[in-house]
Structure 1
Amino acid sequence: MKVSEVLCMNGGFGDNSYASNSLLQRKVISMTKAITEEAVTGVYSNIYPKTVCIADLGCSSGPNALFVMTEVMRTVDKIRKRLNHQSSPEFQIYLNDLPGNDFNSIFQSLPRVQEEIKEEMGSEFGPCFFNGVPGSFYGRLFPTRSLHFVHSSYSLMWLSQVSNVVEMNKENIYMASTSPPSVIQAYYEQFQKDFSTFLKCRSEELVSGGRMVLTILGRKNDDPTSKECCYIWDLLAMALKQMVSEVSNIQSIINLYFNCTRDP
């Protein structure tokens, strides 16, 4: 089964949802705000598009999905006023994630967000058109030369598929200290392939002079299995193995019970 068919963050707004457990991701988006503003300023100041087309790739659900887009629109409006442009551009917003993403929660929040933007920006602020774009960003998503700005945060470390040597990575769910070198190399090659495909697709979709801001989780340590980035997966693997062990023990007890109570 393909990763794109099963991978998604928990939807809704409950205690276990992505919306309620994504403060770290929001903090990272805030940390890169200055970089995003610089990129958007460069696009708008050089092109002056009548319609600004923006895409957030790997938007997920919850407040973060609209946080970036509203910040970009604020930046454009601030530049417009500074340049004394009387008319505001229109905004074409594309929210992309895999088909299993909870797009409904995003769209339910849209009316409130749009009202807040209009109230903040004033009557001169241009209309905004939001679109959900289900699909993998490791392929073409938009028409040729149609986007002015592309944003993606904490998404590109998700690969398009599981490594083809996963059967050699016994008792692990990612790169670990016990993973053979061939597994480490396979993950490296898969990332190279995926990232190259991503850049090629976006190069065809961006207008001349368009910009991208991509935030990817990384590490300072040269060791790809260091606790700096992979420790959480080691802990998850330990928990899964413990669960399997407990289930096996319970099954053994059940079998023993039925064997003991079976009629002679």
Structure 2
Amino acid sequence: MEILQILHMNKGEGESSYSNNSFLQKKILSIGYSTIREAMKELLRNNFPESMGVADLGCSSGPNTLAVISEIIDILCKISCQMSRPMPELRISLNDLPGNDFNGVFLSLPEFYDKIKKEKGDYLESCYVSGVPGTFYGRLFPRNSQHFVHSSSSIHWLSQVPPSLDSNNTTHHLNKGKIYISKSSPSSVLNAYLVQFQNDFHLFLKSRSEEIVPGGRMVLSLMSRSSPDPTGEESCYQWELLARALMSMASEGLVEEEKIDSFNAPYYAPSLEEVKNEIEQEGSFVINSTEAFEVEWDACCPSTQLDNKFWGITGNNNLQSRGQSFANTIRAVVEPMLVSYFGYHIMDEVFRRFRELVDEYYVIKARPPYYINLVISLSKKV
């Protein structure tokens, strides 16, 4: 798979679009705001620039994209006011892969500018927003141009499928019947994913170390796990259920089983220790704080009011199973990858079966399933 071309969220405003199914990511963003606030305070306490570079890596599209930028601007305005300093000129860079729906982002900018002008008045005199398409596993910006870098729900996506698992490089499939790490995956699969994460994250840190000013800050939020075991349910069970949905179709001749055997998701949920090890080995950053927290799959529901263990209320007051809500969220994220490999014609059926499996999973679980999300605050060594 050519990840640069197919790793993007579902575009537009349709029922399965990321724009309408990014409540889980919004929840994760909101939890990370306190860490952003503290990082900004420390940054401006030591260095108050006249012109400030701010980058959001893996910005995607939809309401969350400009929401996080609005929050950063609000934090900066409050800190500037408290310190009785003029607001810095802001150079805001929105980064994602070239396949991202940048058109949707740009169409939202006039309303965004009107909003901040109305709320901030003349206090924020200059704010320049630009799109920067490209992979963050490599250089994106000029040297020493960024003061604050943020990324949420992105770094767990790898630059590529681990080479030993890539169907283009081998005819011997190591992870049969699965599309990611699972309890039945051989140790070679687990190691291949870990090595790919280590290589990618090292390159990410090295690239940012050249772009961020000395003393600059970076706040990263990514899917993680609390256990050293990468096969635990908290880090990979959504992929297990999706694989089961595909395999059930293969058993009926609707999908080629060989296709499933050769598909592997370019994803890895690292442990805190794995993240720390790479930061220490790369050597350019100091870890200021880490926070790991649980995010229930239910966070993808538009409403947090649940009638009972099984049903949730959607924004239009129609009953929708938790499985349906979660299936919509996952579909908005992974469908472009699946379409490139299996074709669009099976997508409705795949996610119908996935929804049923998630509903069944909720029934048998003693507590709602959850992700582990890690927020880590870094500063570049001076």
- What's the TM-score once normalised by structure 2's chain length? 0.63
Q: Secondary structure of 1:217's partner?
A: strand
Matched, 1:218 2:217: no
Instruction: Give the structure 1 partner of residue 246 of structure 2.
Output: 240
Q: Secondary structure of 1:35's partner?
A: helix
Cα offset, 1:54, TM superposition: 0.5
Q: Secondary structure of 2:223's partner?
A: coil
Give the share of equivalent positions with the same residue, in percent.
Answer: 50
Runs of 5+ unmatched residues, structure 2 = 166-172, 256-382
Q: Secondary structure of 1:184's partner?
A: helix
Instruction: Give the structure 1 partner of residue 96 of structure 2.
Output: 97
**Residues in 2 aligned to 1:135 and 1:190: alpha-carbon distance in whole angstroms:** 19
**Residues in 2 aligned to 1:174 and 1:124: alpha-carbon distance in whole angstroms:** 49
Instruction: Give the structure 2 partner of residue 151 of structure 1.
Output: 150
Cα offset, 1:230, TM superposition: 0.6
Instruction: Give the structure 2 partner of residue 10 of structure 1.
Output: 10
After superposition, the CA RMSD in angstroms is 1.3
**Residues in 1 aligned to 2:117 and 2:92: alpha-carbon distance in whole angstroms:** 16
Cα offset, 1:214, TM superposition: 0.3
The one-letter code of the counterpart of 1:193 is N
The one-letter code of the counterpart of 1:128 is C
Q: Closer, same or farther in 2 for the Cα pair 1:248/1:32, shift >3 Å?
A: closer
**Residues in 2 aligned to 1:88 and 1:163: alpha-carbon distance in whole angstroms:** 45
Corresponding pairs, count: 248
Q: How does 1:39-54 map to 2 (within 5 A)?
A: 39-54=39-54
**Residues in 2 aligned to 1:127 and 1:246: alpha-carbon distance in whole angstroms:** 60
Q: Secondary structure of 2:179's partner?
A: coil
Runs of 5+ unmatched residues, structure 1 = 250-264
The one-letter code of the counterpart of 2:122 is S
Question: Contact between 1:176 and 1:225, CA under 8 Å: does it hold in 2?
Answer: yes
1:149-201 deviation per Cα after TM superposition (whole angstroms, max 9, x unaligned): 00001111111110123221111111011111001001011101111110000
Q: Secondary structure of 1:48's partner?
A: coil
1:11-46 deviation per Cα after TM superposition (whole angstroms, max 9, x unaligned): 112221111111111111111111101111222222
Point out the more displaced range, 194-203 or 118-127: 118-127
Instruction: Give the structure 2 partner of residue 164 of structure 1.
Output: 163
Structure 1 or 2, whichever has the larger Rg, is 1
Q: How does 1:155-234 map to 2 (within 5 A)?
A: 155-166=154-165, 167-234=173-240
Point out the more displaced range, 11-20 or 146-155: 11-20
Q: Closer, same or farther in 2 for the Cα pair 1:248/1:151, shift >3 Å?
A: closer
Instruction: Give the structure 2 partner of residue 109 of structure 1.
Output: 108
After TM superposition, what 4+ stretches of structure 1 lie above 6 angstroms from structure 2? none
**Residues in 1 aligned to 2:53 and 2:228: alpha-carbon distance in whole angstroms:** 38
Cα offset, 1:123, TM superposition: 1.6
**Residues in 1 aligned to 2:83 and 2:231: alpha-carbon distance in whole angstroms:** 50
**Residues in 1 aligned to 2:231 and 2:84: alpha-carbon distance in whole angstroms:** 53
Q: Closer, same or farther in 2 for the Cα pair 1:215/1:248, shift >3 Å?
A: closer
Instruction: Give the structure 1 partner of residue 342 of structure 2.
Output: none
Q: Secondary structure of 1:21's partner?
A: coil
